[in-house]
Amino acid sequence: MQNSYSVKNLQDLENFAEELLKWLQDNSINCVLLYGELGVGKTALVQKVAKLFGIKQKITSPTFVIMKDYPLQNSSVFSEFIHIDAYRLKNKDDIKAFDIDNLVKDNKKLIFIEWPEKIFDVAPSECLSIRFTVDHKTAVRELALSLP
Ligand SMILES: Nc1ncnc2c1ncn2[C@@H]1O[C@H](COP(=O)(O)OP(=O)(O)O)[C@@H](O)[C@H]1O
Ligand SMILES: [Mg+2]
User: Residue 63 has what pLDDT?
Assistant: 59
User: Residue 64 has what pLDDT?
Assistant: 61
The whole-angstrom separation of Cα 22 and Cα 18 is: 6
Q: Please, what is the average pLDDT of the chain? A: 92
Instruction: Count CB-CB contacts under 10 A for residue 3.
Output: 9
Nearest Cα neighbor of 100 from 91, 88, 90, 112 is: 112
CATH of the domain at 68: 3.40.50.300
The more confident residue out of 56 and 69 is 69
Residue 47 near ligand 1, beta carbon < 6 Å: no
Residue 38 near ligand 1, beta carbon < 6 Å: yes
Residue 13 near ligand 1, beta carbon < 6 Å: yes
| Domain assignment of residue 138, given as a range | 4-146
Count of structural domains, the chain: 1
